[in-house]
Amino acid sequence: MAITENDIQSVKQRFGIIGNAPMLNNAVRVAMQVAPTEMSVLITGESGSGKESFSKIIHSLSPRKHGQFIAINCGSIPEGTIDSELFGHEKGSFTGAHESRKGYFEVTNGGTIFLDEIGEMPLGTQARLLRVLENGEFIKVGSSKVLKTDVRVVAATNVNLMHKVENSKFREDLYYRLNSVPIFVPPLRERGKDQELLFRKFASDFAERYKVKPISLTEEAKEVLLKYRFPGNIRQLKNLVDQISVLSTETKEINAEVLQSYLPNQTSLPALYKDVAGQDLSEREILYKVLFDMRKDVNELKRIVLESVGNPLNAAQIVKENPHLFAEVQPERSISREPVVLNLNGNGKPSEEAAAEVQDISHEAEDDSLSIEKKEKELIMRALRKNNNKRKYAARDLGISERTLYRKIKEYELES
């Protein structure tokens, strides 16, 4: 059955979801579509964006709605006890286990478990969770008996799990098993006018709770609100409204200046560096690029020196035409070698000694231009040999992306 806009609005009203942003409506629609199935769902979004509400939609609209629903924050459970919390333990299985205990997967049999911050789950626990997802089986801590459970898992994360997979901090097979159906919950800053709707809703709730007049915003204050990034998302906005409602006693109409005084100062976030193709670059790749650019400048500077030696009268003009190469040169940072002495003969040409020195500089420039490439090529070859030519793991050892490694292999003609 097709899901209409009225259906979406009805579900949002039922679960207290405020807003009409297209991305928000799409997230609700996907949750409604996947709810009647038994598929695993991975909800992604920033902290405070309201991911748990979507797990409740999925459970409440599913055949399991009469079963138990449990929400667990994987990041708040210590690594040493999370297995016991999820799968239970037998009496005496570890210090302090004075009696047998049922875990959440046993208690929630026939229901739904919402695993928030799944990216914080330890690798050992991830292996146990994968077995539950694939076979519906688990073993209590300190037991050898295999138990069965019928639980639907809805997971959520505020981090990039694929990056964790690449860094061997999250199981790849578990990632794809959880990510059967992805749902993205947009951050508040990408929801436009929803910020105003949420502001009014929180102001009204606070006024009703404490029997006071609700605060409101002037038009200029609304513009300030829409421009603010809200890194804490809905949670931060709610706290802001409550704070202003309590502290603003002189007037209930909040202007731009007053609102600005309650907003934390936001420093400019560093822009993510991108290459010419618009792809994100890692810190190591940025360092490589800086080194290569420096090498190019040094080689260009040496070329200019060679040209000026051949015709010293043009040296001043060359410096004038290439100020970017000479602007930052400091005497105390110069290369620790004897300066080139231009012993000119009667014809205004360099002497044999000067010519020999120039030849040395020429060879040095050529050697420098190859040294970084040679070392980089050797590192790539060693990483490939170490990992039996498996590029994924070689890239991980080198600290670069697979895309960058593929490009380097092609550049250095290392393909077998």
Average of per-residue pLDDT values in the chain = 82
48 and 159 co-located in one domain: yes
252 and 293 co-located in one domain: no
109 and 171 co-located in one domain: yes
204 and 178 co-located in one domain: no
Residue 199 lies in a domain: yes
28-37, 129-138, 221-230, 262-271: least confidently modelled range = 262-271
Residue 175 lies in a domain: yes
208 and 180 co-located in one domain: no
31 and 175 co-located in one domain: yes
Question: What's the CA dihedral at 288, 162, 393, 130 to 10 degrees?
Answer: 160
Residue 403 lies in a domain: yes
CATH of the domain at 220: 1.10.8.60
Residue 275 lies in a domain: no
Q: pLDDT category, 59, cuts 50, 70, 90? A: very high
163 and 197 co-located in one domain: no
On the question of pLDDT at 61 being above 80, the answer is yes
Q: d(Cα 354, Cα 344) in Å, to the nearest integer?
A: 8
Q: pLDDT category, 398, cuts 50, 70, 90? A: confident
pLDDT higher for 176 or 377?
176
Cβ-based neighbours of 345, under 8 Å, separated by 6 or more: 351
The pLDDT assigned to 404 comes to 80
On the question of pLDDT at 384 being above 90, the answer is no
Query: Reduced to 3 DSSP states, what percent helix, strand and coil does the chain have, rounded to the nearest 5?
Result: 55, 10, 35
Number of CB atoms found within 10 A of residue 78's CB: 8
97-101, 184-188, 218-222, 406-410: least confidently modelled range = 406-410
Q: pLDDT category, 371, cuts 50, 70, 90? A: low
Q: Which of 125, 152, 186 is the last residue of a domain?
A: 186
60-64, 173-177, 385-389: least confidently modelled range = 385-389
H or E element in which residue 44 lies:
strand 41-44
Q: pLDDT category, 341, cuts 50, 70, 90? A: very low
39 three-state secondary structure: coil
pLDDT higher for 39 or 329?
39
pLDDT higher for 387 or 110?
110
The pLDDT assigned to 128 comes to 96
Number of independent structural domains in the chain: 3
The pLDDT assigned to 331 comes to 43
**Residue 59 and residue 65 in contact, taking contact as beta carbons nearer than 8 Å:** yes
In this predicted model, what pLDDT tens digit does every residue of 244-261 receive, in sequence order?
A: 999 987 789 999 999 999
Number of CB atoms found within 10 A of residue 295's CB: 15
Residue 274 lies in a domain: no
Residue indicated by tokens 């005496």: 92
51 and 69 co-located in one domain: yes
Residue 267 lies in a domain: no
147 and 208 co-located in one domain: no
The CA–CA distances, whole Å, from 185 to 12, 47, 77, 153, 200 equal 14, 10, 24, 18, 21
CATH of the domain at 21: 3.40.50.300
Percent pLDDT > 90 in the chain is 58
DSSP for 67-134 reads: S-EEEEEGGGS-TTTHHHHHH-B-TTSSTT--S-B--HHHHTTTSEEEEETGGGS-HHHHHHHHHHHH
**Which structural domain, as residue segments, surrounds residue 375?**
283-411
On the question of pLDDT at 71 being above 70, the answer is yes
H or E element in which residue 244 lies:
helix 233-247
**Residue 181 and residue 40 in contact, taking contact as beta carbons nearer than 8 Å:** yes
**Residue 400 and residue 282 in contact, taking contact as beta carbons nearer than 8 Å:** yes
Q: pLDDT category, 323, cuts 50, 70, 90? A: low
250 three-state secondary structure: coil
Q: d(Cα 297, Cα 325) in Å, to the nearest integer?
A: 7
pLDDT higher for 370 or 192?
192
On the question of pLDDT at 74 being above 90, the answer is yes
In this predicted model, what pLDDT tens digit does every residue of 212-250 receive, in sequence order?
A: 899 999 999 999 999 999 999 999 999 999 999 999 877
390 and 329 co-located in one domain: yes
Residue 318 amino acid letter? I
Q: Which of 186, 218, 234 is the last residue of a domain?
A: 186
Q: At what angle do helices 22-34 and 51-60 cross, to 10 degrees?
A: 30
On the question of pLDDT at 51 being above 50, the answer is yes
Q: d(Cα 203, Cα 243) in Å, to the nearest integer?
A: 10
The pLDDT assigned to 299 comes to 67
Question: What's the CA dihedral at 309, 310, 314, 320 to 10 degrees?
Answer: -50
Q: d(Cα 242, Cα 245) in Å, to the nearest integer?
A: 5
Residue indicated by tokens 């009496």: 91
On the question of pLDDT at 367 being above 60, the answer is no
The pLDDT assigned to 337 comes to 42
**Residue 388 and residue 378 in contact, taking contact as beta carbons nearer than 8 Å:** no
In this predicted model, what pLDDT tens digit does every residue of 101-146 receive, in sequence order?
A: 999 999 999 999 999 999 999 999 999 999 999 999 999 999 999 9
The pLDDT assigned to 237 comes to 96
Q: pLDDT category, 269, cuts 50, 70, 90? A: very low
CB-based contacts of 389-397 (< 8 A; 24+ apart in sequence)? 389/416, 396/166, 396/167, 396/168
The pLDDT assigned to 332 comes to 41
127 and 225 co-located in one domain: no
151 and 125 co-located in one domain: yes
Residue 271 lies in a domain: no
Q: pLDDT category, 192, cuts 50, 70, 90? A: very high
Residue 416 lies in a domain: no
Q: Which of 163, 186, 209 is the last residue of a domain?
A: 186
The pLDDT assigned to 264 comes to 87
On the question of pLDDT at 47 being above 90, the answer is yes
The CA–CA distances, whole Å, from 140 to 100, 114, 199 equal 10, 20, 47
